[in-house]
Structure 1
Amino acid sequence: MGKAWLNLGISLAESGKLDDAEVMFIKAADCEPEVKPQALTNLALLEKERVQRALAGGDAAAAKTHGLQAGRYLDEAKPLFDALIPLFPNDEGLRHYASGFDQLRIFVFRLAGAALMKLGEFADCEAEMTKLVDMFPDAWESHAMMWTMHMNTGNADGAEPPPSASEARALRPAEPFAEIAAEPTKPVAATARAEPARADGPRADTA
């Protein structure tokens, strides 16, 4: 039954009915254990869509709320993916969602960071970026976002540039936070179905 709720939620989200889709994903999360992390990922994708809309509309407070909630959904999903994939090795849906987790989680950190920067909540932004680096120490985007945050706040002391000089040159001073609101938003569930755990929009290393 969980996959039925999941598919219904995706269809509703594709129709733009995000609130109704959210109800279906919550129902799906309460069903079979292998469906729960997939449902949580779709809930995070809904929140990601709301963040982008809020940033585009200039509502940084709402963007912060939705960005942090998206992160909580993904953080709940991660240990479930880790535990369930060995138990369900032939579940292609489960593996497909899990395969895009890192990219989506990094992108959600980026969105939350954008909202916190716009609100001037620099300590909270630094806490999120520190968590990002701790979770993904080998991802250059993690270090790039931390570096950019320090540069944007004028706190260059102790700020280290991204590992690669070419990657550092590719970043303009305002990136990767300031231009997120200008990124086109796409139907969240279309991404959820075709690329269930992929982040819409440019990665942190693109304009």
Structure 2
Amino acid sequence: MRTPRDVLALSPVLPVVVLDRAEDAVPAAEALLAGGIRAIEVTLRTPTALDAIGRIAERVPDIVVGAGTITRPEHARQAAQAGAAFLVTPGVTDAVLDAASATGLPLLPGAATVSEAMRLAERGLDTLKFFPAEASGGAAALAAIGGPLPDLLFCPTGGITAENAPRYLALPNVGCVGGTWLTPRDTLAARDYARIEALAKEASALER
């Protein structure tokens, strides 16, 4: 991946995946790929996340694996060392931005307001994560942000579902949406990879 926009162009939905067991990483990624999804964000919310990223990067090379929930500078470095191809933050600090930029990986920094988006644009970042999307006003808010900031492209995440995803994808300033609904935690716990593949097929068919 050369740029964040390359990541957003891969699929209409970027699965946000929380893995409690590293051994679920490869079969879950394979199921998503079989369903037409070409990128995955593994969140650094569990102790197994970095191991999971490494397994996917090594054994499922046809899906682009990124690391999410980058909230500390060391997260960026650890994710890059594990094999992540891109980084995603829920919000930003100067220290996190500097560390993420130092990795050379495409970055989707989180913003929830016009001011936050403008500050990121000042630093040359024009592809952002809108988070938490639904709690921050939803598709209507993101459409309004597009008025004064038409050059920015977003991946809204947070409260996105199969039902409301089309409202976001219809916006000109949305490249893709991020969501957890493709890999529900109970489905992962049950190792029901067939369901994950089915959900991925539905998601990859969404229009944008």
| TM-score computed with the length of structure 1 as normaliser | 0.32
User: 1 or 2, which has the higher helix percentage?
Assistant: 1
| TM-score computed with the length of structure 2 as normaliser | 0.32
